[in-house]
């Protein structure tokens, strides 16, 4: 469902945006919609990647090898 949105943008920027939109065969509204969609998708991807990274940090990685000495043996004075 689409909804109208009122923006306050400098006239010179609107003029340039209309030119770019015409060159791309779209409208200023269409360009803004696509850019907002891209920004939101990037933000969501970043949030997901951050959650995954934090999960990896909490659980750690098993890099192989075996622990052959006890903690007490390693810290014996």
**Number of domains into which the chain is organized:** 1
Q: What is the pTM of this model?
A: 0.69
Residues with Cβ within 8 Å of residue 48, at least 6 apart in sequence:
none
Within a domain: residue 4? no
Structure tokens at 72: 């007490």
Within a domain: residue 15? yes
Give pLDDT, residue 22.
98
Give pLDDT, residue 12.
98
Give pLDDT, residue 67.
80
pLDDT tens digits, one per residue of 25-67: 999 999 999 999 999 999 999 999 999 999 999 988 888 888 8
Within a domain: residue 2? no
Write out the residue range of the structural domain in which residue 53 sits: 11-74
Burial grade of 31 (CB within 10 A; 0-12, 13-18, 19 or more)? middle
Q: Indicate if the pLDDT at residue 77 is higher than 70.
A: no
């Amino acid at each position: 469902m689409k909804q109208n949105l009122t923006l306050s943008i400098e006239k010179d920027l609107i003029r340039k945006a209309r030119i770019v939109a015409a060159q791309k065969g779209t409208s200023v509204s269409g360009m803004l919609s696509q850019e907002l969609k891209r920004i939101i998708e990037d933000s969501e991807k970043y949030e997901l990647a951050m959650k995954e990274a934090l999960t990896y940090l909490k659980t750690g990685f098993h890099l192989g090898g075996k622990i052959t000495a006890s903690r007490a043996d390693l810290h014996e004075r």
